[in-house]
Structure 1
């Protein structure tokens, strides 16, 4: 019988550790490492049922993909009910998911913590900054997580310190609290194998397409309980009218909850361009925040210490800032009229690996342009081309390199002994690809 057993969940000062024991048929999806998460506050007084939330939030979707059951000693009863709601959403979204049952010796009900604070998952990008602007009157705690795009590996130490510094400075200027969480969740799971096995079913990768809404919010549970955070917000990537198979959506995030905390998928009523316009209104209103005029966004796909100004996401953000009436150079993006030519060339030459979400975001820009007068001949020429471009064709012609697809196909059906031999080769190929969006 396919099963995953959470053998123990412990908290020592600021560190959570859980042992994961999968049945033999599921071993390939786990590395054998304990699940570890480090917070910047003590979690020793957090009830055990809530301590189990982070590991269950990551293990359960893997179990559902294989029709496996999950066993744990204690679970917060509110979160157990939330898992059923999230499972139903994910199963309706992904037809390869089979479901499974969570069995707990104790489904506990505890008193909610004192406090009416709010928290916001925050990176300093367009989405989370727009979410902050919308909730700034509540002075939300800004929460940053290491473990996904910034891995626990020593090679990412500098990126993590850069993010901590950037978020810390943003918070200090606005008298906000911060929370920094470090987890090995995608090292305890064998994320490359999950990608190899399920990539053919999803547009992005395992975590982006299936796991990250439940996973990232779930990581926050012990910290939220310890700090008395009642409302936890995660900014939307997409918006109403876009029905993509994505791991963070209203019908996932809005269901996530545990005793004392409800989670919210935020800004889903705004397109990405409308979020930039919300940020522009914040920047242009000095009475709202005297530091807003110096606001720098961070969205780059290449670097964390600023924006390269040349990747697809940098160009897309710079174009959007211009349309919103802001100078991209004043907010972290070197951009001039001649860059419009480079954007068009990158599209036409297939220089970027694009997914459906990028297709919708450029369409959002195209729709905005129809209501906005171009400010220069170069801008006019680019938008004239964009208005006629076949975005579906441009996305279809991009994609991951063939050798990556072949490696994934081979790994899907390899026995563990073979997989363990070829894993270093697969991992090296993976390291050469861009990080998940």
Structure 2
């Protein structure tokens, strides 16, 4: 079954709000085995909305419309659907009672336009709104199906889960196999490099399907299959995952949609290890990413943002002649990264100490180019590893990639220690 999501609202076209509903619905529909081939955004205009519906009917079996169910004159979704189907609208008594109780309970006079929120298309199934006022609608017409949902996510999500999804399962999806997916997460490799390693799998895919995609400093591969049961699906997905893992053992860090810092916190918690950090050019970004993970307090004990040379000397005991002088390596150097990692580990008394020092831009520092970054990883009772990075991009990109690269190398170190036990 093919679906199209039509988001209604001029505010979406103007960029005043972000269409998070489409992301949620696409994910939920995929889990039901429904393929979303198109997403459309249309403003609050009856003619354009009606045309968008007619266009969608030419290429989809199921139309999910979001927004435009409210009380004002520019809330036109029900009007447009009724016009396209050649049906009328009527007030649903239960929905109207719900609206009346809302205003009576607050002692507020109800304006007449609020009656619009109780309108439904003739012959459709009303979808009660448990968290708002505008009733939804589910309609079957000449082999096509329509779901009308409110725009606010706090109303849309519970209505879809409790009202629309059961209607779809009962009336639409009686013969459909659900879609099962795994999200494989990779670090330390770019999208093009990963795709090259998996090119034959991508080009020859049938079932399961494989789709790589990327965002800043993160690459994901989604593998998916339709099956009658979860166990049948997992047997197919596990086989493909094993083949991918064998090709990229140094990069595949998770088979669920989690950031690498979550994997690291889980690993260190299980291993009983702790970590601290000293950051210069990233200004605490590395520490923020770790501490954003619930449960990180048992793993991350503390850190220092040492942006200036004075702070590197005063708080982390970096020798002055290492930082400044005619022949000094400087703050942006492998030597400084090593000292920072070792000193923060000893000062905070952790198993690992991490460091970042570099030039994030926009201009040169110490006559060194933008994107030159050094990272360090110090291990209690072990050697300190230092890596030179030559990164491209703007200031924020360089800072983010620096932090993610430290996490990648820490993950590799933890993985090696696990394997050695």
Shorter-chain TM-score category?
Answer: under 0.3
Give the structure with the larger strand fraction: 2
Q: TM-score, normalised by structure 2?
A: 0.24
Higher relative contact order (CA 8 A, sep 6+): 1
Q: TM-score, normalised by structure 1?
A: 0.24
Q: Point out the structure with max Rg over C-alpha.
A: 2
